[in-house]
Amino acid sequence: MSDVQPVLAIVLAAGQGTRMKSATAKVLHTMCGRTLLGHVLAAVEPLGAAQTLVVLGHGREQVTEELAKTSPGAKPVVQAQQNGTGHAARLALKAAGDVDGAVVVVPGDTPLLTPETLHLLVQRHIDAKASATLLTARMPDPAGYGRIMRDGDGHVTAIVEERDADERVRQIDEVGTSIYVFDAAKLRQNLARITTDNAQGEEYLTDVVGLLVADGDVVASVVADDHRETLGINDRVQLATARHTMRDRIVEHWMRAGVTITDPETTWMGVRVQLEPDVTIHQNTQLHGRTTIRSGAVVGPDCTLTDTEVGAGATVVKSQCTGAEIGPGADVGPFSYLRPGTKLGARAKAGAFVEMKAAQVGDDSKVPHLSYVGDAEIGERSNIGAATVFVNYDGVDKHRTKIGDDARVGSDTMLVAPVEVGDGAYTAAGSVITEDVPPGAIGVARERQRNIEGWVERRRAGTKSAESARRARERNGDESATMDSDGKGEQGAGE
C-alpha cells in the first residue's frame, strides 16, 4: 500500500450520461450489487484519502440521496453547469479548502477500476516526485478518448482531445483515462490558467498536463495493465459488458477461495455475497445482497437468493429466497418461495411449492408440499401436511399461528389465525381449524362424510360411471343399490 495517503479524492460525476437514455442518473445504474459510483468509491476508499468529494450535476438529488445512504463519507459538490472536467476539478478543489499533498481524480463511471491500480498510481506519483501522474491505457479502439502525446524520450507532453486532434494524433492508441494524481498546489495554480479555447468550449482538466510540461514540471504516467479497468460506461451495452467482467472477477475470486461453481457463465453474484469453502453453486443461480452460504451447502440449479443465509450442508434447489435464514442441513425446494422473516431450523424442510413468510420452523420440522406458511411459529419435529394453509390475513390484519413440537397437521388443513396447535397435537385432514387444539388432542373440523348409495345409477344413468357401478354391484351380488345411507365415521389425520 502507498506510503502517503492522498489529501483528497475527487470523483467527477456531473455529466448527464445522455446515451443511457434513462431517468436514472448514469452513475446510479447498478451492476453486481453496487451502483457504478459505488464501485468507483469502493476502489478509492482503500487509498485512505482525508476527504472524498463527488462532483454532481445532472440527477444530483438522486445521487446525493444515494451517497448519504451508502457512502456517507463522500461529500457532494454541486457543479450546476457542466463547463468541463477542469471546471469540475476546480470546484471540488475549492470546496476541499486549503489542502496540500496528493489529489486523486477519477471519473464516476469507471466501475472496473481496482484499488491496486490506484495504489500503484499514487506510489508512482510519490516516487517520481511528480506534479501530475496519469493513468493511461492502450485501447484497441481509441476513438473518442483524449490521446497521450509523448516526446522522443517517452515523456508525456500533453493530452489532446479527439475533437481537437488531427489525423496523425488520432492514430495514437494510448489514451487518457481521466484517472490522475496531482499535487494539490500545482493543480490549483494551473486550473486557474486553463481556457475554453477548444472544440467544445469547455475547461479541460487535460490541459493542466500541457501547462505543467511547459513549466518544466514532472509529469509521470502509468500504463494500465488491463485497459478494461479504465473503461467508462456511456451506454447500456457497455454496462452489460462491464457487468460480465465484474461477474467474472467475483466468480473467479470465489472459485479460488474453494467454492465449486459448476457453470460460471450462468452464475451471478454481487460484491457483498460471502461464501465458505466447499460450497457448491449450480447453474443459473443468482446471489444478491448480503447472501451468505456456509460450508458444504449446495445451492442451485436455478436459485435466486437475496439477503439470505444458507447454513452448513443445506440444500436449496430451484427456489427464490429473500431475507430468509436456512438452517444447517435444511432442505429447500424445488420451487419454494421463502420471503423475509423465514427462519428454517437445522434439518428443517420447505419442500416443493411451499411459500413461507415471517415463519419460524423449528429443528427437524417439515413442510414437504404445496403449502403457505405465513406469520407462523412451528416447533421442533412437527410435520405440516400437504396443501396446508396458514390463513394469516383476515382482510384487514395479519395474525400469527403457533404449532408446538411433534405436532401433525393433517393435509389440507386451514389454520385460521390467530390459532394454536399444541405440543403433540394433530389436526384431521381437511380441517378448518379456528380454535386452539390443546396438546395431545386431535382437532377435527369438517363435515362428516355421507354416502348416497346408488346415486350414480339413478342420476347419471347411461354414463360409463353408471355402467361400471352396475357391474360392481352385480359382482358383489348387491341388490340394495338404490337406498341412501350415511357414510362411515372418522378418518385419520393426514400427514
Residue of the chain from 31, 175, 212, 305 that contacts ligand UD1 (CB under 6 A): 175
Of 108, 232, 329, 430, the one binding Ca ion (CB under 5 A) is 232
Question: What stretch of H or E contains 464?
Answer: helix 464-475
Residue with Cβ nearer Ca ion (146 or 374): 146
CB 403 within 8 A of CB 376: yes
The verdict on 149 binding ligand UD1 (CB under 6 A) reads: no
Which of 2, 8, 10, 15 touches ligand UD1 (CB under 6 A)? 15
Residues 32-71 that bind ligand UD1 (CB under 6 A): 55
Per DSSP bridges, beta strands 383-384 and 401-403 are unpaired
Q: For residues 222-281, which are near ligand UD1 according to CB under 6 A?
A: 232
Report in angstroms how near the CB of residue 25 gets to Ca ion at its nearest. 15
Select from 389, 385, 421 the least CA-distant residue to 405: 421
When asked if residue 206 is in the footprint of ligand UD1 (CB under 6 A), the reply is yes
**Residue 77, beta-bridge partner list:** 55
Radius of gyration of the chain (CA): 34
Piece of 76-84, 272-280, 284-292, 415-423 that binds ligand UD1 (CB under 6 A): 76-84
Q: Beta-strand (E) ranges in 289-326? A: 292-293, 298-299, 304-306, 309-310, 315-316, 320-322, 325-326
Least Å distance, CB 200 to ligand UD1, is: 8
For residue 148, what are the β-bridge partners? 159
Span from 29-37, 224-232, 347-355, 386-394 in contact with Ca ion (CB under 5 A): 224-232
Region of 43-51, 169-177, 295-303, 370-378 interacting with ligand UD1 (CB under 6 A): 169-177
Active-site residue 227, yes or no? no
Q: Is 413 exposed, middle or buried (0-12, 13-18, 19+ CB in 10 A)?
A: buried
Kindly name the residue from 58, 244, 369, 399 that is annotated as catalytic.
Answer: 369
For the packed helices 184-191 and 85-96, what is the interaxial angle rounded to 10 degrees?
A: 130
Nearer to ligand UD1, 174 or 420 (CB): 174
Residue nearest to ligand UD1 (CB): 146
Phi-psi region of 454 (alpha: psi -120 to 50; beta: other; left: phi over 0): left
Distance CA 312, CA 135 (A): 44
The residue among 46, 49, 48, 25 whose CA lies nearest residue 37 is 25
Site string for ligand UD1, 86-105 (x = CB under 6 A): -xx-----------------
> Cell numbers of 166, please?
488531427
206 binding partner (options Ca ion, ligand UD1, none; Cβ < 5 to 8 Å by kind): ligand UD1
Nearest to Ca ion of 139, 373 (CB atom):
139
Interface ranges with Ca ion (CB under 5 A): 232
Which positions touch ligand UD1 (CB under 6 A)?
Answer: 12-15, 55, 79, 82-85, 87-88, 107-109, 145-146, 159, 161, 175-178, 204-206, 232
Catalytic residues: 369
